[in-house]
Amino acid sequence: MTILVTNSIAVAVQARYEQRHSNPSEGKFFFSYRITITNQGQRTVRLLRRHWSIVDSLAQTREVKGPGVVGETPVLAPGEEFTYSSFCDLQSAVGRMEGNYTMRDEDDRHEFDVAIPPFDLLYSWLAN
């Protein structure tokens, strides 16, 4: 698990190769990831947007931007956490994801970015 704290918001990521959804002989590699966002600060915040950079060793880097995560814009009071799971498909056995969330302080409406720690996406035989 990889953890990074930015502006009192901790982001923990754990990625996993999904063999049952992948077909390496056809260049289809499927990965899931689980993210926990924890508000370690003193103010209530809302996750507004996400921005991902997805690197695939055999394809162009993809940029993914959009509102919230998994259809939600969670509000986190001090000490609260939000966990979600999602996925990424690659054409190769090696990739990497990184990005950031745009958050808003619900008291003063100030927006700020929170870094998502970079993490590797590795076909299972490479990860061992």
CATH classification of the domain holding 84: 2.60.40.1470
Question: Which are the contacts of 102, defined by CB distance < 8 A and separation ≥ 6?
Answer: 47, 48, 49, 50, 51, 111, 112, 113, 114
125/100: higher pLDDT? 100
Q: Band the pLDDT of 125: cuts 50, 70, 90.
A: low
Q: Pull the structure tokens for residue 25.
A: 């002989």
Residue 1 pLDDT: 86
C-alpha distance from residue 70 to each of 3, 66, 77, 82 (Å): 20, 10, 19, 12
Residue 42 pLDDT: 97
Compute the 3-state secondary structure of the chain and give helix, strand, coil in percent, each to the nearest 5.
10, 65, 25
How many structural domains does the chain have? 1
What's the chain's average pLDDT? 95
Q: Which segment of 35-39, 80-84, 124-128 scores lowest on mean pLDDT?
A: 124-128
Residue 59 pLDDT: 87
Query: For 58, phi and psi rounded to 5 degrees?
Result: -115, 10
Q: Which domain holds residue 8?
A: 2-127
Q: pLDDT per residue over 23-60, tens digit each?
A: 999 999 999 999 999 999 999 999 999 999 999 998 89
